[in-house]
Amino acid sequence: MPQNPIKQIREEKEVTQHELALASDVSVSTIRNIENGEVKEINENLLNFLEDKGYNREKLVKEYKTWLQEKKEEIEDKF
C-alpha cells in the first residue's frame, strides 16, 4: 500500500507534525488527522503551502484520495 503523500513529504523533509503545522498555518491536529486518513480532503492552507514549495497540488490530491481508498479497502477486507 502506498504511503500517505503528506506524511511522506514531512518525513522526507525531516520535520515534525508541529513544524509542518506552524509553517503551513494549520493546527497540529489537522496534520495528524490528514496523516491518519481521518479527513477526506487535504486542508486548503496546507495545499497552498506545499504548492508554493513546488509540489503539484493535483498530484497530491490524487495520491491522497488513492491512499484513502486503499486504506478503506484494506479495512473492509478484514470483515
Can you give the pLDDT at residue 65?
Answer: 97
The string of pLDDT tens digits covering residues 49-78 is 999 999 999 999 999 999 999 999 999 999
Question: Whole-model pTM?
Answer: 0.91
Give the chain's domains with CATH numbers: 5-76 (1.10.260)
Average pLDDT score, the chain: 96
Collapsing DSSP to helix, strand or coil, 1 comes out as: coil
1 — pLDDT class (breaks 50, 70, 90): low
Residue matched to cell numbers 506524511:
7
